[in-house]
Amino acid sequence: MWQNQGGAYANRVKNAVILRKNASLLTATTGEFMHYADYKTILSPKNGMNLYRGCTHGCIYCDSRSVCYQIKHGFEDIEVKRGADRILEAQLRARRSPCMIATGSMCDPYIPLEEELELTRRCLEVIERCGFGLSILTKSARILRDIDLLCAINERAKCVAMMTLTTFDEALCRVLEPGVSTTEERVSALIELGNAGIPTVVWISPILPFINDTQENLLGLLDRCALAGVRGIICFGFGTTMREGSREYFYAKLDEFFPGMKERYIRSFGSAYSCESPASARLTEIFRAECEKRGLEHRQTRVFDYIRAFETNWAQLTMFD
Ligand code: SF4
C-alpha cells in the first residue's frame, strides 16, 4: 500500500508504505524514491520507449545524468510514467503495421523498482499481444524474470536482448557500476537468454581512459561475448563522453575511488565532450582482429540493421546464418 499518490498503480506495489519526501514516495522493499508523472505518449518518434526517468544503478559514468536531458527531479528519485502500458497499447493498436520497439537507451528497464511495479513486464505483455518486436537493453539479470515474455515475443515476431559490458574485472565492475549485476552475472544471463533461443547483443561501452582501456580488459570481454554466443557487438570506440551533469558526478566518484584521476582527466581532456583513450587506435585494431578471430559480428551498421529490422520468426532464420 502506498500513500495517496499513483492511483490504481499504487496498489500494485507490494508490502510498501512508506514515507513521503517532498512529492515523492520511498518504497519499503527497494528503498528507492519514486513519483508518478502523466504522459500522453510512451513512444518516441523512432519507437523508443522509456518507462522510467532517472536510475538507481549508480554507474559512475552515466550519461543520462547530463543536464541536456532536462530531468527536473533528483536522478535517484525515479519518475514513473503513470499508466504507461495502457497508453502504449493504444499507440500500438493505432499503428498500421508492427515494428521493433526499443527500450533501455535512457534508463534501465530493470531497476530495482521494477520488481515492485512490474511496469516493464506489463509493457512487454502489450508488445506481445499486439505482435510487435522488441529490442531491450539492460545491465541487470532481472531481465530473466521476463524470459517467458521475451520468448513469446520472439516466437511471434522478434526479440533481441542486449547487455552492456564494460569490464571483466568483477572488483572494478562493482566500483564502476555498483547497482547492477556484475559482469559474470550478466554473462550468465546472456547465456540463459541464448539457450532460450533469444538472440543477444553486447554493447561494450564506455571504455574509460586510464581505467578500463587495456588490451587485457578488451580480450576478457570478447572472450565472454564468444562464450555467450552473442549475435553481435556494438562498440562506439574507445573512450567516453562527458557533459555538464554527468561530468560532476563522474569526477566526484573519481575522487572517491581513483585519487588523482580527476586531475589526469582535466589535464588530458579539459572540458571536451569526447574523451578518447590514448590507446584508442591500438584497441580498435585489436577489437576488429579479435572479433573476427572469434567469429563475432562487430560491424556497427550490420548489427544496428539487425536490431532495428522487424521480422517474423521465420525471417529471422536467415539472418547471420
Ligand atoms: S544503468 Fe544506465 S541509466 Fe542507470 S546509472 Fe547505469 S548508465 Fe545510468
| Predicted pLDDT at 6 | 36
Atom of ligand 1 nearest to the CA of 65: 8
| Predicted pLDDT at 16 | 47
| Predicted pLDDT at 269 | 98
Interval between CA 221 and ligand 1 midpoint (Å): 19
Instruction: Evaluate whether 168 touches 224 at the Cβ level (below 8 Å).
Output: yes
Residues lining ligand 1, judged by CB closer than 6 Å?
55, 57-59, 62, 64, 107-108, 139, 180
* CA diameter of the chain: 58
> Is residue 28 assigned to a domain?
no
d(CA 69, CA 106): 9
Atom of ligand 1 nearest to the CA of 138: 1
Interval between CA 314 and ligand 1 midpoint (Å): 34
Residue 211 sits in a domain whose CATH number is 3.20.20.70
The number of folded domains in the chain is: 1
> Is residue 94 assigned to a domain?
yes
* Angle in degrees, CA 179, 183, 188, rounded to 5: 115
> Is residue 275 assigned to a domain?
yes
> Is residue 20 assigned to a domain?
no
Instruction: Using CB atoms within 10 Å of the CB of residue 145, give its burial: 0 to 12 exposed, 13 to 18 middle, 19+ buried.
Output: middle
| Predicted pLDDT at 21 | 52
> Is residue 121 assigned to a domain?
yes
- Cα of 251 vs its chain's centroid, Å: 22
> Is residue 219 assigned to a domain?
yes
- Report residues of the chain scoring pLDDT below 70: 1-23, 28, 312-321
> Is residue 4 assigned to a domain?
no
> Is residue 209 assigned to a domain?
yes
Which residue's CA is the closest to the ligand 1 atom numbered 6? 59
Interval between CA 273 and ligand 1 midpoint (Å): 18
Instruction: Evaluate whether 85 touches 118 at the Cβ level (below 8 Å).
Output: no
Instruction: Using CB atoms within 10 Å of the CB of residue 192, give its burial: 0 to 12 exposed, 13 to 18 middle, 19+ buried.
Output: middle
Domain that holds residue 134: 35-316
